Structure 1
């Protein structure tokens, strides 16, 4: 959300639900079973808090460079501090129903501090050290896991030195956030390999060379994720095993661009890339929108997830037995449009946790694909938009699925 003119937050007003008299019709869910008892998490935004009135609670306030030029860099830094204050509120909300429906796993928005990694307008996060420490202290005391996922422009395999340099600055910014929070090694930073740039193997070698030059604090947190267009697990696993880089396994991406083996066969090797570094493995779950036919349509995430992956019930894939005999579970990030509501629905479906009905909301309708070409081609208007406006580093993401 861009905000060109936000007042300084002199005093926060108590947020209230839009209408306390609203009674939501929450339908029952189909009961399903699983032996998995790990943590479910959501990414970046809480839909209940985002809808609060008179002041929403969220962590992605940002602005444009024109606004910085007009109002000064302190405007962007002020937005960052407000985002950090609201991140604390998100952690509190996730925990406030302790032992009932608490959520102890969340992705931190990459837009927490606007332009902090910019070559010209970048800045240190030390000015928000107190706010970040408060978040980390609370998360650590409650056993919450916080991770991050920089945007698709973060590409260490790019042939362009300026793109690689910008990627390193972005990774340093994320490391700085976690260090100021005091978050341990489970606070990982996830990226994709990115574009193939005409030659996948050459790009992989270039990534390996660039990775070796990274500062150790970035290496300690960096994680790769299989994607749905360019690099599946078959492509990434040899590189990650060689460099000791953990892999986030994304079920949705693997469904679109499958690897040579099913998840329950791949995940023991994938989990080993985490365990070698003493980090709890995490996976990503999302579902395609109903009616998706083409590759481009199948990439779009649905509002909810209808089920948990069967691989979670398989030893060494969804859980493992530690040296002391205790059972340990992977963490599962739910990348659904309904955010925490998708988590609550899975809690109810599998009896993973009791829920507070007042926190439940009806599922948002999944938009269909009416009017889109059945071969996945963009409309003429969209094609013109891409020709005119797509920046070079985003055009390079175009890849072919085999």
Structure 2
């Protein structure tokens, strides 16, 4: 036999697919490693495997904590300006940073509906009030850190407290109110209040006057229980004309004289408005009744007095000095592009400058939509106070002229002008 023939014999013949199938059927299956257990306890192993799978199914999977990158805000530069002003700037009622804080927003105007009171009872209302006053302490602390020592408190700290049917006194919150007052006094912060537009002492309707007096009593009680001094004032407007300004003024004087307590009179101040009563209208009344006058520059721009406001300020400031109260004024600006009176009334998000002729040492309330951000921006523009950069937010690029009905006669007093 040749070498080539021997090699041909030595080569194994390839199995055909048919033979492969036959061989596989005859070959015994080899158990998997995990199935081979000493003692042949294969079935036990299977049941343990099922138990393990069941345990895994019951045990909740631990989720990795969500990592969120901090938002980085682009804060635009400001145009630097100079001033001799040495007073304080404040904002009204709401802090936008704290209100939007997560998971627990911080604000002082939690409220409810009468239907909720009927369903859940007065204890629910009391709890809302306590939450609001506790958050007031947090607002005061934030303001101190950011060098804002002047703020208007929300009129809705205690929901329905001045209501004719559901009203209540504040004795249940006496401890919390004292704590807030002590903190404000510790930092030398000035806290004020501004009853809403429904507070009309000159109204011809007795029920409106009665409700107005109740509202003033309620807000005065807040500040009295807090132990705040005479600088914590309540600002109101003269109210409506009701077709006869002279008669309305006479009613106001009569009701002020006969229906208000001395505690209310000690805190009550009057502000010029943009529709009914300008500075010329209220000055004689305030002189007669010894009521301080809050100058609102925006309102005077819309409904000006005969003489420039800068000429009236020295005489107006005397109304404050007579009662030993620090002078308070209001500043806001119309939104860009405002033409009609209604458009001019609506406040812009921020103020671009301080008013001309501003006295050096007054407290100026900035009534702007961006609240504390409007104050911080003026601090930057005039170098009034150092700002914490992380607490700055950029202004909106566009401001609409829509008022969204916020200037209606029944508007709430938060941020009220």
Same structural fold, with TM-score higher than 0.5 when normalized by the shorter chain: yes
Q: Deviations over 1:214-255 (max 9, x none)?
A: 110000000111000100000000000110001111000000
Alignment of 1:363-378 (within 5 A): 363-369=395-401
Equivalent residue pairs, number? 343
Tell me the equivalent position of 2:208.
163
Structure 2 CA distance for aligned equivalents of residues 167 and 175 of structure 1: 12
Tell me the equivalent position of 1:315.
none
Deviation at 1:368, TM superposition (A): 2.5
For the pair shown, the structure with the greater C-alpha radius of gyration is 2
Deviation at 1:365, TM superposition (A): 4.0
Structure 1 CA distance for aligned equivalents of residues 155 and 343 of structure 2: 25
Tell me the equivalent position of 1:245.
291
Could you tell me whether the CA contact under 8 Å between 2:335 and 2:401 is conserved in 1? Answer: no
Pick the structure with more helix per residue: 2
Distance 1:173 1:52, change over 3 A: same
Aligned-residue Cα RMSD (Å) equals: 1.9
Deviation at 1:203, TM superposition (A): 0.3
Q: Deviations over 1:126-145 (max 9, x none)?
A: 10111111110010011100
Distance 1:104 1:197, change over 3 A: same
- Unpaired stretches in structure 1, ≥5 consecutive residues: 1-17, 313-317, 320-328, 373-377, 396-402
TM-score under structure 2 normalisation?
Answer: 0.80
SS across alignment from 2:357 = helix
TM-score under structure 1 normalisation?
Answer: 0.83
SS across alignment from 2:235 = strand
Which of 352, 355, 376 is equivalent to 2:384? 352
Structure 1 CA distance for aligned equivalents of residues 88 and 333 of structure 2: 18
1:114 matched to 2:156? The reply is no
SS across alignment from 1:311 = coil
Could you tell me whether the CA contact under 8 Å between 2:272 and 2:299 is conserved in 1? Answer: yes
Where does structure 1 differ by over 3 angstroms across 4 or more consecutive aligned residues?
A: none
Which of 99, 104, 113 is equivalent to 1:55? 104
Deviation at 1:263, TM superposition (A): 1.6
- Unpaired stretches in structure 2, ≥5 consecutive residues: 1-66, 412-417
Could you tell me whether the CA contact under 8 Å between 1:228 and 1:256 is conserved in 2? Answer: yes
Q: Deviations over 1:145-202 (max 9, x none)?
A: 0000010000100011111110000000011000110000000000111110110011
Could you tell me whether the CA contact under 8 Å between 1:304 and 1:338 is conserved in 2? Answer: yes
Could you tell me whether the CA contact under 8 Å between 1:282 and 1:333 is conserved in 2? Answer: yes
1:330 matched to 2:375? The reply is no
Deviation at 1:364, TM superposition (A): 2.6
SS across alignment from 1:59 = coil
Tell me the equivalent position of 1:212.
257
Could you tell me whether the CA contact under 8 Å between 2:349 and 2:399 is conserved in 1? Answer: no
Tell me the equivalent position of 1:151.
196
